[in-house]
Structures are given as C-alpha cells and as structure tokens.
Amino acid sequence: MGKNIVEKIFQSHKAYGKLIPGTPVGLKIDEVYTQDATGTMTWLQFEAIGIDRVKVPLAVSYVDHNMIQSDFMNPDDHRFLQTVAAKYGAYFSRPGNGICHQVNLEQFAAPGRIALGTDSHTPTNGGIGMLSIGVGGLDAATVMAGAPFELTMPQVVKINLKGKLSRPWVTAMDVILEILRRLTVKGGVGKIFEYGGAGVKDLNVTERATITNMGAELGATTSIFPSDERTKFFLAAVGRKKDWVKLEADKDAEYSEIIDLDLTSIEPMIAQPHSPDNVVTIKSLKGTKVDQVCIGSCTNSSYQAMKAVASVLKGNSVAEGVNLLINPGSKQVYQMISKESLTSTMIAAGARMLEASCGPCIGMGGAPGSAQVSVRSYNRNFKGRSGTKDAFVYLASPVSCAVFALKGEILDPRKSGLKIGKFVEPKKYFINRNFIIPPKKDTSKVVVIKGPNIKDISVKEPLEEKIEAEVLLKLGDNITTDDIMPAGSKVLPFRSNIPKISEFVFSGIDSTFSQRAATAKEKGGCIVIGGENYGQGSSREHAAIAPMYLGLHAVIAKSFARIHKANLINFGVLPLQFKNPSDYKRVDKGDRIIIRDVKNSLMVSQVYAIENLTKGTTFEAISDLNNRQKEIIIKGGLLPYTKQQEE
Ligand code: MIC
Ligand code: SF4
C-alpha cells in the first residue's frame, strides 16, 4: 500500500509506536524553535531538566512578540534568551530579525524534516514540505533535552486542490478562509491536512505557507504541502538549494478523508468578528466602514504580500479616518522592499510602518479605538485580542486590506477600480543573516543573565486521592487561550513571572477569577467547566500553568483543543470530558464538587464519578490518557516526570 507524505515523514522519524490514528507515536525531531513570549518559560524548564547542551540537530530562539520595551522587563527577557541560547547551543534570532515563522521559512525550514515550535503557527513551515507542529514550552524543553516527541497519531485528510486561483485579487488567504468557512475552528482537531492535487503547482511556497499557517485556526495538528519544483525554486532563491528533496504522496496513498477544493471557484473572502471561521464573501459586506487596517503577521507578511500591497497603495492616499499599519515579516523582507523603494511607496500613501514583529496581532500596540472596525491580514480575531474589548476585528487578504484602507470601507477588491501589480517570484531573495547568532562551541564562559522579573518555575504537587473543589467558572464552546490567559501589552511582559501573570487569568471574562481562586485554594482548589473545543488557539502553556498555580485541579469540558489539552497534562491538571455531554447542564458556577478515588479512576477505568455536593447529584466524566500521560498526571506534571526518568 502506498504512503501519503505524512506517513513517509513519520516513518523516517519514528522512535516508537505505530502509525495508527488514535495511538501514541514517538518521533525524533530535527528542529525545535521558541519565540520570546513562550521561550523564557521553555528555556527555564530546559535549565531545570539539567542538560548541558540541546540534543536536537537544530534549535533556534526567536524574539518577535514581546517587543514593546516600556520598561526593563522585555529587554531583560531578550538578554536572558540570548545568553541561554549561547549557553545551551541554540541559534539566536535577534529582536528586529522578524517573526519566527517567516524567518524560519526563509532561513531554516526544509522539506521532509520535522520541526516543533512553541507557537501554534509553527505549521507555517508546512508550506515548504516540513512537518511542523506547535507545542507547549515544556514539550519543547523535554525534546531539546533528548526525549522523543510523543503525540497521538492524527488522521490524515487530503485537501485535493483543483484548478487555478484567478489572481490577482484572489489569494492564498482567501483559500484558507474558504476552508475555515467550510470546516470551522474545530474541523481539524485530531487531523493533519495534506494538500495535493493538480492545483498545488499553482501556488508558490509563501502562498502555501499562508494556507498551512492558518490551518492552525482549524484546530489541526498541522498542514503540509508536497515538496516540488516550486519548493526547489524557493529554496534556491533563499540560497538553500541543498536543503531541497522531492516529497510527494504515492499514487495509491490512502487518506481518512478527501476534500475537493476548486481554486478557480474561490472569491475574495473575509472573516467577521469574533472568530476566524465566521467567513463570508467580501462582497456581502459591501459598505461596512473601516477605522483601522493592519497588514502583516506570520500569515501574510512575505515579500510577495508586501509587494502586492505596495502596488495597490502606489500613488494613492489612505482614506480619511483610517489608520493603516504595516509590519513586514522579516528583516530580509523589509530590506528587499526598502531596496525597491516600496516602503517609500507605503509611507507616501500614509502607512504607519511597524517593525518586523507580531505587533498588533497580539495586542502589542496598534489597538483599535472604542467600538472601531479593524480589518487585518492576520489569523485571529477573537474578541478583545486586539487590546480593545469592544472592537470589531475582521480578517482578509493583504490586498483586500490595502483596498479597504484606501477606500475607507469594505468592498469587493475586484470592483474597486484600483490596480495591482503582477507578481513575478524572485529568482534570488536578498539574504542577510547578520541578526542570527550561531551556537558557540565553547560555552564554559557564558553566563546566563536573568532580570528581576524572571521568577522560578511553578510545579504542581503529585496527584492526590481526592479532589474537592469549587466550580469557579462555567464557560461555553470554543473558549480560547486568549480568554484563559490574555496577552497584550499589559500582560505579555509577565510571561516569565507566573505569580504575577496568574492575576490576569480569565480577566477578560471574569475580573474576580484570580481572587476567587485564591479563596477557593484554601478550601481545596478549583475546577472550570467548558464546552466544546476548550482551549483553542495559541500554544501558550501559561494558560495551563497560571490556572494550575491558582489551584486548578481539573477542567471538565465537552471536548478539548490539542495543544491546550497537552499543556494541561504537562502541568498536572486533569482534562476530563463529560461522559454524557448533556450533564453539562448539571453543574454550575459556585457548585462544590468531589471526585473520590481519582488515582484509581485514572489508572484503571478513566471513568470518574463526579459528586455535585451543592446539587446533591452525581454524573460521570472520562479521560482518554495513554500510560505515559497518566504517569505525568500522577507525578504532578511533565517536569517532575522527566526528572524522575533521569534518576
Ligand atoms: C498567538 O498568536 O496567539 C501567539 C501569541 O503567537 C501564541 C503564542 C503565545 O501565546 O506566546 C501562539 O499562537 O501560540
Ligand atoms: Fe505572532 Fe500573530 Fe503569528 Fe502569533 S499569530 S506568531 S502573535 S504574528
């Protein structure tokens, strides 16, 4: 029987297990990368494991999120990351070098290999044929310390692309928005999307990367494209031809499902507030006034995206009342467009140029005004993520965004009367690696520098026999990690300080949460109730660590998002599911809950009797943890588990 691309890569990297969907498989990893907002914790955990040097072939520490230096905290983190990379053998990408995924695509990603990144948009590298998975920091730390990476083998779904995009106004962003419209934010849970079909060759690597990047919003484990002549062309252009290998599915490869998508039929699309799957055609929103436009992010900040935007802006002026913010994805892209005077074109039109970083995407500046409409070429429009709670954030392609900025309203870009330049993929990218510091051989003299905001890591106690706790919050479906552990300029600087950042847990939903948790902790701790797809969105393990620090023992939900579930386990918090989803109605905020005999339930049946003391009722919850995950929970998390394995 023939193999698909995912099976080929998994097979060549398998450390243990079988490639049977739903069963655990251990993988050897080629590259691990971190970014600063998740990286400080990852590297502190790596230090705590006590290994002298990273044991993966390639480790890279990027700085791109926490870039507003309003006091000492962020630059201290950057210095810590630089020194810790030097100490343990990682490359360091300096602040200003660009957004991790864009830089990784240009500088390191290679077809046929596997990367883990401590960021949910790591699948960006799937555009080049690299199998790349977003993980929590502790998973990354243990892999850098030499462990295989274990995951539950996902199902492989083929997205069969037919036809051709009717460029120039229909772009790769419209393709992934259309897929999100069809499949929703939970449509990819437990799945890897493998792209194939005749339409693949119509897309270049950075267009493919836009699609795999935003596959994260489907809840997918990752997405991947074949490696073909277009991949070879891109790798040659970025000076890394030697990294090319051909990678394609066998003719008789099998998939758990095949979804056909005709590129020719796709039109300009837009995601409405407040979810990336709330997608409609742009023309259906004609006339919606726009206050702000942001172009960039790891989804749409390539040279091609910037060049196309500049061609639309050329000779025009941003509409009165609109703010246009642009952040190119990497220093290289920035330099390329500067050399071609395209930054000048953008500035002339009225764009406010930002540095090559995440910026407004994660609420680091650029927040919209009260109740304003912001259209962004980014990937997430969760309520409040922009920094403004009552803002209305839409997501669209960079060129559609440029049109809205000039016209001051949403309209079909094809009917705007504006012109767009024809894009010819460059044979040679401008290459500049001066902001990537390679690992040092002799690290004996390197001193790791920690600023005063960098606090010790937090670890949970081993699992007890009985959990008696208060239900502090009952939530609906699709709760995001932004809801659980908000980011933005006020919170992000505390990523290295768990006691402080825990004050912000659920603050956007219930500002009393952390205080109530402190009171509940004295009486045994707390539980949170969730609906479907609990914890969707980012990989930030702070959404597990900080609630754990506040006394969270378990989350009982209808279903979980992959990375957040793994993070809960890694920090010793039980992810439980309602055995009967209708029991969701039998528990409310404020109820006191007892789960007796927890260890036995976990180890033997994975069925837990939940007694609701307040209501005098009982219902059942289940878990689906494998043996390793059970042990991790028993020990109080992956760190104590890993340390014990070493002894
Ligand atoms: C995001 O887009 O939400 C982030 C910020 O990049 C996160 C990582 C983080 O919270 O640090 C992600 O996507 O994983
Ligand atoms: Fe940065 Fe936004 Fe991409 Fe997250 S989604 S890595 S915040 S640009």
Q: Is residue 644 predicted with pLDDT exceeding 90? A: no
Residue 62 pLDDT: 98
Residue 610 pLDDT: 98
Cβ–ligand 2 distance for 214 under 6 Å, the answer no
In a domain, 404, yes or no: yes
Q: Is residue 646 predicted with pLDDT exceeding 80? A: no
% of the chain at pLDDT higher than 70: 100
Q: Give me the residues paired with residue 375 across strands.
A: 293, 394
In a domain, 430, yes or no: no
In a domain, 231, yes or no: no
Does the active-site annotation cover 65? yes
**Distance (Å, rounded) from C-alpha 497 to C-alpha 463?**
24
User: Which helix (DSSP H) or strand (DSSP E) does residue 593 occupy?
Assistant: strand 592-595
Does the active-site annotation cover 252? no
% of the chain at pLDDT higher than 90: 98
Residue 475 in tokens = 């939530």
**Distance (Å, rounded) from C-alpha 565 to C-alpha 205?**
31
Question: Where on the phi/psi map is residue 189: left (φ > 0), alpha (ψ -120 to 50), or beta?
Answer: beta
Contact residues for 453 (Cβ-Cβ < 8 A; gap 6+): 72, 73, 76, 77, 493, 494, 496, 497, 500
Residue 10 pLDDT: 98
Mean pLDDT of the 489-518 span: 97
For ligand 1, pick from 65, 124, 504 the residue to mutate: most ligand atoms within 8 Å of CB. Answer: 65
Give the CATH number for residue 297.
3.30.499.10
In a domain, 86, yes or no: no
36-49 vs 137-144: helix axis angle to the nearest 10? 50
Sign of CA dihedral 574, 579, 581, 587: negative
Instruction: Specify whether 632 is located in the same domain as 521.
Output: yes
**Ligand 1 atom with the shortest distance to the CA of 216:** 13
Distance 298 CA to ligand 2 centre (A): 6
Q: Is residue 358 predicted with pLDDT exceeding 90? A: yes
**Distance (Å, rounded) from C-alpha 561 to C-alpha 544?**
13
Instruction: Specify whether 395 is located in the same domain as 471.
Output: no
Does the active-site annotation cover 538? yes
3-state secondary structure of 266: coil
Instruction: Specify whether 375 is located in the same domain as 474.
Output: no
Residue 626 in tokens = 């494998």
Instruction: Specify whether 473 is located in the same domain as 387.
Output: no
- Count the domains in the chain: 2
Mean pLDDT of the 556-563 span: 98
Instruction: Specify whether 568 is located in the same domain as 637.
Output: yes
Residue 58 pLDDT: 98
Smallest CA separation from ligand 1 atom 2, residue: 538
In a domain, 232, yes or no: no
Residue 643 pLDDT: 86
3-state secondary structure of 327: strand
Domain limits at 372? 269-415
Q: Which residue has the tokens 């031809």?
A: 241
8 A C-beta contact, residue 549 and residue 499? yes
Instruction: Specify whether 502 is located in the same domain as 619.
Output: yes
Residue 354 in tokens = 């930002």
Instruction: Specify whether 547 is located in the same domain as 625.
Output: yes
pLDDT digits (tens, 9 = 90+) for 248-293: 999 999 999 999 999 999 999 999 999 999 999 999 999 999 999 9
Residue finishing a domain among 378, 394, 415: 415
Residue 645 pLDDT: 81
pLDDT digits (tens, 9 = 90+) for 576-585: 999 999 999 9
For ligand 1, pick from 362, 382, 386, 489 the residue to mutate: most ligand atoms within 8 Å of CB. Answer: 362
Distance 297 CA to ligand 1 centre (A): 11
8 A C-beta contact, residue 379 and residue 299? yes
8 A C-beta contact, residue 40 and residue 430? no
pLDDT digits (tens, 9 = 90+) for 532-553: 999 999 999 999 999 999 999 9
Instruction: Specify whether 487 is located in the same domain as 391.
Output: no
Does the active-site annotation cover 174? no
8 A C-beta contact, residue 92 and residue 61? yes
Smallest CA separation from ligand 1 atom 6, residue: 119
Query: Which residue blocks in 136-283 are alpha helix, DSSP H?
Result: 137-144, 172-183, 205-214, 229-237
Confidence of residue 167 (pLDDT cuts 50, 70, 90): confident
Distance of CA 103 to the CA centre of its chain: 15
Q: Which of 336, 384, 347 is nearest to 363 (CA)?
A: 384
Cβ–ligand 2 distance for 120 under 6 Å, the answer no
pLDDT digits (tens, 9 = 90+) for 386-428: 999 999 999 999 999 999 999 999 999 999 999 999 999 999 9
Residue 168 pLDDT: 87
In a domain, 219, yes or no: no
3-state secondary structure of 219: coil
Catalytic residue among 36, 76, 77, 119: 119
Residue finishing a domain among 415, 433, 449: 415
Sheet strands side by side (includes 31-34): 131-134, 114-117, 31-34, 58-62, 91-93, 436-437
Q: Which of 611, 608, 605, 600 is nearest to 578 (CA)?
A: 608
**Distance (Å, rounded) from C-alpha 210 to C-alpha 180?**
13
Smallest CA separation from ligand 1 atom 1, residue: 538
Cβ–ligand 2 distance for 119 under 6 Å, the answer yes
Pocket of ligand 1 (CB under 6 A): 37-38, 65, 119-121, 134, 362, 487, 537-540
Minimum mean pLDDT range among 330-334, 537-541, 571-575, 643-647: 643-647
Give the CATH number for residue 616.
3.20.19.10
In a domain, 450, yes or no: no
Instruction: Specify whether 603 is located in the same domain as 517.
Output: yes
Instruction: Specify whether 472 is located in the same domain as 397.
Output: no
Distance 118 CA to ligand 2 centre (A): 11
Distance of CA 321 to the CA centre of its chain: 32
Cα separations (Å) of 534 from 135, 167, 186, 302, 530? 16, 37, 10, 32, 6
Catalytic residue among 223, 374, 538, 559: 538
Instruction: Specify whether 291 is located in the same domain as 372.
Output: yes
**Ligand nearest the Cα atom of residue 100:** 2
Does the active-site annotation cover 456? no
Q: Is residue 627 predicted with pLDDT exceeding 90? A: yes
How high is the mean pLDDT of the chain?
Answer: 97
In a domain, 282, yes or no: yes
**Ligand 2 atom with the shortest distance to the CA of 297:** 8
Q: Which of 598, 588, 518 is nearest to 554 (CA)?
A: 598
Instruction: Specify whether 482 is located in the same domain as 408.
Output: no
* AA identity, residue 93: S
Distance 606 CA to ligand 2 centre (A): 36
Q: Which of 338, 318, 423, 327 is nearest to 377 (CA)?
A: 327
Catalytic residue among 540, 542, 562, 564: 540
Does the active-site annotation cover 64? yes
Distance 36 CA to ligand 1 centre (A): 10
